[in-house]
Structure 1
Amino acid sequence: MAKLAFLGLGVMGFPMAAHLKAAGHDVTVYNRSPEKAEAWVAANGGQSAPTPREAAAGADFVLSCVGNDDDLRSVCLGEDGAFSGMERGAIFVDHTTVSAAVTRELAAAATEMGLGYVDAPISGGQAGAENGQLSVMCGGAEEDYAKAAPVVAAYAKICRRLGEVGAGQMTKMCNQIAIAGLVQGLSESLAFARKAGLDIESVVEVISQGAAGSWQMENRHKTMAAGEFEHGFAVNWMRKDLAICLAAADEVGVSLPVTALVDQFYKDVQAMGGGRWDTSSLIARLTD
């Protein structure tokens, strides 16, 4: 078992850190609002620290799941950042969805300090985190990944190395691109079924068994039909991710017309007051 630090106890990080503790690791947590860290310790044991640096002191692995590029920089760099507290040979594993650019920037800084760095964004939503069934897509040196993978296994359904640093983030962009068009298609399908006077449950029962079936259809069609969006991955975060996708597309020279269009549809949802709604709320644009 390893000595670990976990930085960021949001809807994903809180249960992920709990799985690490349940697996027998010695876990110290840090959260920007200390109340969450105190609640985690009360629920799971372990200990909390007031800064990333103090949480990371003596840790074999430091894992993070924060909000965006700036949040990740803030927990990594500076006098109170995790890198300052880590010992040479320790490995930083980042589960945040961020740009490949900031990933490479921080990986370079880690390398200069004798630290390993694995970018390991996740997919599977809050339910996946709570059930330990996340998909983890990784980039980094083979030896760093090989050391980190058994730790990440505590909450992973699948964990794979896709290449060097940054490959994990680029793979997560593939994930978000695929989801964007899929959720819009499902939204249009359900809205069409309703307007056509069809029973949505019966429609889904049939079409889900064929080529139209998907995780989104199985897990979200009931709440979408009911107009219930208070769960899962928020629209605000999806727009953050899609902005990264579109910027990366420009960088590699590929056109993403559907992704760009769905991003604007999510902007409409934000204008409706749905910034914190689940991403399945795209259907709200199509209902009276």
Structure 2
Amino acid sequence: VVDAPVSGGQAGAENGKLSIMCGGSADAMAKAEPYMQAYAARIVHVGDAGAGQTTKMCNQIAIAGVIQGVSESIRFAQNAGLDLDKVFEAISGGAAQSWQMVNRWPTMAKEDFDFGFAVDWMRKDLGLALDEARRNGAVLPVAALVDQFYADVQAMGGARQDTSALVRRLPK
């Protein structure tokens, strides 16, 4: 048995560029890996069965915080009267650069959210992570807060929108 959640979004799946985090025995991995190579750019064996799912939770925790940070950066720049394209150009190549910034800032700035990983799915994933954190003793204050923010986006009608719709809950 191999648990093998993925990261990389729809574009990653379409282009065979997903990152796969795998949990399972070495023998199970050896059997499964040739099949995964068809759709993955990166395959990482992270531990025993279940470790893949737990690693996916780590991924979602990190993404939630990054999207909130990008959302706040966009609204801050808008309120300061800055040109969003210029701000993106300036900061996307420096320490703030991330997949979320490079791939979502432009669509967030245009308020285009009808694609990608749905808010409903992120809430499910964050719920799993928060449940696991209660079991393993991890403290996740930012993930818990961003999960509440995603509930706000759901209440605003954004349940099926991309997770980058988080910016919608911040006033302009």
Structure 2 match to 1:81: none
1:178-201 deviations in Å (ceiling 9; x for gaps): 000000000000011011000001
Q: Which residue of 1 aligns with 2:81?
A: 197
1:253 is matched with 137
Which residue in the other structure is 1:140 paired with? Answer: 24
2:97 is paired with a residue whose SS is: coil
- Confirm or deny that 1:126 pairs with 2:10: yes
Aligned residue in 1 for 2:154: 270
Q: Residue type of the partner of 1:188?
A: E
Question: Is the aligned partner of 1:225 residue 2:106?
Answer: no
Give 1:251 shift.
Answer: 1.0
Runs of 5+ unmatched residues, structure 2: none
Distance 1:209 1:164 in 2: 36
Q: 1:175 is matched with which residue?
A: 59
Superposition pairs of residues 70-81 of structure 1, within 5 angstroms:
none
Tell me the CA shift for residue 208 of structure 1: 1.0
Cα deviation, residue 141, structure 1? 1.0
What secondary structure is seen at the aligned counterpart in 2 of 1:154?
coil
CA distance in 1 between counterparts of 2:64 and 2:55 reads 15
Would you say 1:286 and 2:161 are equivalent positions? no
How many pairs are equivalent?
172
**Residue correspondence of structure 1 range 198-217 to structure 2 within 5 A:** 198-217=82-101
- Structure 1: unaligned runs, 5 residues or longer: 1-116
Aligned pairs for 1:47-62 (under 5 A) are: none
Give 1 or 2 for the bigger CA radius of gyration.
Answer: 1
Q: Alignment identity in percent?
A: 63
- Greater helix share, structure number: 2
CA shift for structure 1 position 163: 0.7
Q: Which has the higher contact order (CA 8 A, sep 6+)?
A: 2
TM-score after normalising by structure 1: 0.59
Q: C-alpha distance in 2, partners of 1:260/1:161?
A: 28
RMSD: 0.7
Counterpart CA distance in 2 for 1:147 and 1:160 is 14
TM-score normalised to structure 2 length: 0.98
Alpha-carbon distance in structure 2 between the residues aligned to 1:147 and 1:268: 43
